[in-house]
Chain A
Amino acid sequence: MTTVRNKQLSSTPNAGLATATQAPGRPLVTTVNTKRLLLTALGWVVAGTIFFPIFWMVLTGFKTEAAAIADPSLIFSPTLDSYIEVQQRADYFKFAMNSVVVAFGSTLLALLIAIPSAYSMAFLPTKRTKGTLLWMLSTKMLPPVGVLVPIYLLFRDFGLLDTRTGLTIVYTLMNLPIVVWMLYTFFKDLPKDILEAGRMDGASTFQEVIFLLMPLTLPGIASTGLLSVILSWNEAFWSLNLTSSQAAPLTAYIASFSSPEGLFWAKLSAASTMAIAPILVFGWLTQKQMVRGLTFGAVK
């Protein structure tokens, strides 16, 4: 974020100067301010557009079902009825706990596998490295439903259906290509000389990774981990298909309030608000690290 803002700030006065030179007599400060105001307004419009559905969902959760289907209005008497009803019908905390365990568990597992893989690909590449990377990414191009039945059968035979372990394994496998790719690009940006210097000082490969590579690329690893948590948290296909009552996460909780027959907007909105609240707070708290990680190496 900081980097982007700096770039914008440094480019804006130049643009203003250019305009000022082309239009003599026009005050420089006004042009710069107008441009900045326009950009700010545009930024707000974009942010507002992105945030509006979430805002409307939160609002609808506090309406009655009748008010939720009525003509859209910001004026209504708020009620907690929908929140009370969704909690009566399903134990939110059970679903939330499953989401936390599975999202963080799968992320840890993915990082554990991906860090050594990305290290080897970034610093000890072979002629097949590029091909392996592309092949890994290609697994993301297959629609998940294509492998549903084989995975379901495997899970049935290994007793993994409706277990957190099973879902953690699937999420790990699902996110692994992205995690490896992201880590690979972060590791690639690190000068090899640093690791070589460590090796000269007698560091083993393990020590190299733990004491040099990981501290130096921590923002990248953190943002990769955060992205993996968010992807796992929001994943709905596998969670709905591989769990039933014991390991079902919040995506299954939301799905239970949708219905093709009957009015459910307020209850669904309340359930969705409760389901996204933890990850929203989590994202809010970690946004600095995330943006830092995502722009890591961008201005080299």
Chain B
Amino acid sequence: MKFTRALPLAGIAVVGATATAASAETITVATVNNNDMVIMQSLTSEFEKAHPNIKLDWVVLEENVLRQRLTTDIATGGGQFDVMTIGTYEAPIWAERGWLAELNDLPEEYQVDDLLKPVRDGLSQNGTLHALPFYGESSMMFYRQDLFDEAGIEVPEQPSWEEVRDWASQLHNPQEGTYGICLRGKPGWGENMAFVSTLVNTYGGRWFDMDWNPQLDSQAWQEAISFYVDLLNNYGPPGATSNGFNENLALFSRGNCAIWVDATSAAGKLYGADESKVSDKLGFAPAPVAETPKGSHWLWSWALAIPSSSEKQDAAKTFVTWATSQDYVELVGETKGWTNVPPGTRESTYENPRYQEAAPFADFVLNAIRDADPNDSTLEPSPYKGVQFVGIPEFQSIGTQVGQMVASALAGDNTVEQALQAAQTATERTMKRAGYLD
């Protein structure tokens, strides 16, 4: 009897479950394996609880692999992804080609004006947002407060590169395992060239003049690269050409570097006592400057975009607005700790007292991002958008090629003059082939 009564109920339950499963739409989200994205992935159940009609499928890849994968898919209209994680470099280029859905009718509770203006501008094309910022970063200087105190060095509000060289020479002590300075040396447009571009900017240089003529053989490039090569070879760790962000993060976390200039997103990691031996000895300062403060620190944002080829635009939009909302910041703060909140996207995050308390570096990051202007990052006028990159499709190959030549000068295989001359010739050739030059 019990069985006969239970049977229809079970039937209803099965039908109900099938109906829910059938109506649930699955969206595929492609993202990079950075800490903030891993947290987003771990909060999948929270999103699915709040939106039972949408299921998330994740594709997580290393940054360069992801970039190649997404570019192939979006350029061919493959439609494999409904949400893509892209950077400020891709957003305007892809938007211009009509590859990304416009995000201009966002719900009021999303508070689009709360997004930091430089980041918002970086993700817009002709004033329309084509991606929503998930986290943003600039660059800044990290240093070992204990070593600086011992040496009696006081860091001014705005350090200069000359001062940094003096400090590095004072604190360089390889016998004790401490190197004066750690900087990126691994070749790549997003590796050494991100840093080198800011150094060139602050030395008064630029990638191209207003007619797209490469400027790599200019005085400013010569000075900047010579300074960089001397600094790292004299006071840097051995084998600097194989050091990117991760390698330097590992070196600094282990206490092997006195100074490190790199992404602001390192701050949270250096502060985490689990992975860092220097969490209680950290000093922060703005990125050093030389001739001009313009373009001395970069601006980057990882953002979520919806490809035009996606057939699930509405569900995708629901997800991207959720993952970049104030509520999401709150959710991460409450469940994963306030140092793990995605930084550099919203004014409200920096006004939050709990975040301010947990992240003493917050103001540096906010100021660095506010100051960075991708539309005006060089002393002399330049025709491109971007601080540490040039917002044209050809830059990936140009940047990587020049990066290899700069690394060859750092390794001593070429002189700075030879490396820059080769870089100039290669860039001229690429620009001619691409039709920028006659």
| Chain A residue nearest to B302 in the complex (CB) | A261
Partner of A263, one of B58, B64, B250: B250
Evaluate whether A90 and B60 lie within 8 angstroms (CB atoms) in the complex, with A69-B253, A240-B65, A262-B35 already known: yes
Among B75-83, B99-107, B392-400, the stretch that binds chain A is B75-83
Q: Is the CB of B59 within 8 A of A260?
A: no
| Chain A residue nearest to B309 in the complex (CB) | A156
Among B46-54, B213-221, B229-237, B241-249, the stretch that binds chain A is B241-249
In the complex, given contacts A64-B274, A69-B275, what are 9 additional A-B residue pairs having Cβ atoms less than 8 angstroms apart? Answer: A65-B274, A90-B58, A156-B78, A245-B28, A256-B61, A259-B246, A260-B245, A263-B250, A264-B246
B33 at the interface (CB under 8 A from A): yes
Write the B291-325 contact mask toward A (1 if CB under 8 angstroms, else 0).
00000000000000000000000000000000000
B57 at the interface (CB under 8 A from A): yes
Residues of A within 8 A of B376 (CB): none
Partner of B63, one of A64, A65, A149, A260: A260
A-B contact pairs, 17 of them (CB 8 A): A65-B274, A66-B275, A69-B253, A156-B77, A240-B65, A240-B69, A244-B30, A244-B57, A244-B80, A245-B59, A248-B59, A260-B190, A261-B32, A262-B246, A262-B269, A263-B246, A263-B269
Residues of B within 8 A of A258 (CB): 33, 62
Complex Cα spacing A261 to B41, Å: 16
Q: Is the CB of A152 within 8 A of B190?
A: no
Complex Cα spacing A237 to B54, Å: 31
A226 at the interface (CB under 8 A from B): no
A18 at the interface (CB under 8 A from B): no
Nearest Cβ in chain B — how far from A229, in angstroms?
Answer: 24
Q: Is the CB of A161 within 8 A of B62?
A: no
Dominant SS at the B interface?
mixed
B178 at the interface (CB under 8 A from A): no
A84 at the interface (CB under 8 A from B): no
Complex Cα spacing A248 to B62, Å: 15
Complex Cα spacing A245 to B41, Å: 14
Residues of A within 8 A of B249 (CB): 262-263
Nearest Cβ in chain B — how far from A75, in angstroms?
Answer: 17
Residues of B within 8 A of A257 (CB): 33
Complex Cα spacing A264 to B63, Å: 14
Nearest Cβ in chain A — how far from B274, in angstroms?
Answer: 6
Complex Cα spacing A22 to B73, Å: 71
Residues of B within 8 A of A245 (CB): 28, 57-59
Nearest Cβ in chain A — how far from B12, in angstroms?
Answer: 31
Q: Is the CB of A260 within 8 A of B61?
A: no
Interface size on A, residues (CB 8 A): 32
| Chain A residue nearest to B80 in the complex (CB) | A244
Q: Which residues of B contact A (CB under 8 A)?
A: 28, 30, 32-35, 38, 41-42, 57-65, 68-69, 72-73, 75-81, 190-191, 244-246, 249-250, 253-254, 263, 265, 269, 274-276
Q: Is the CB of B76 within 8 A of A149?
A: yes
Q: Which of B62, B81, B191, B250 is most buried by chain A, counting CB atoms within 10 A of its CB?
A: B62
Interface residues of A in 26-53 (CB under 8 A from B): none
Nearest Cβ in chain A — how far from B237, in angstroms?
Answer: 14
Q: Is the CB of A259 within 8 A of B33?
A: yes
Nearest Cβ in chain A — how far from B381, in angstroms?
Answer: 32
Q: Is the CB of B244 within 8 A of A260?
A: yes
Interface residues of A in 130-178 (CB under 8 A from B): 148-149, 152-153, 156, 161-162
Q: Is the CB of B63 within 8 A of A259?
A: yes
Nearest Cβ in chain B — how far from A187, in angstroms?
Answer: 39
Q: Which of B35, B59, B254, B276 is most buried by chain A, counting CB atoms within 10 A of its CB?
A: B59
Partner of B72, one of A241, A255, A261: A241
Complex Cα spacing A262 to B62, Å: 11
Q: Is the CB of A152 within 8 A of B72?
A: yes
The 10 A-B residue pairs with the shortest CB-CB distance, nearest first, are A256-B60, A258-B62, A259-B33, A69-B250, A245-B57, A261-B34, A244-B59, A244-B80, A260-B63, A262-B35
Complex Cα spacing A260 to B250, Å: 12
Complex Cα spacing A65 to B78, Å: 37
Nearest Cβ in chain B — how far from A170, in angstroms?
Answer: 14
Nearest Cβ in chain A — how far from B184, in angstroms?
Answer: 11
A115 at the interface (CB under 8 A from B): no
Complex Cα spacing A95 to B31, Å: 18
Complex Cα spacing A262 to B247, Å: 9
Evaluate whether A252 and B61 lie within 8 angstroms (CB atoms) in the complex, with A244-B80, A264-B33 already known: yes
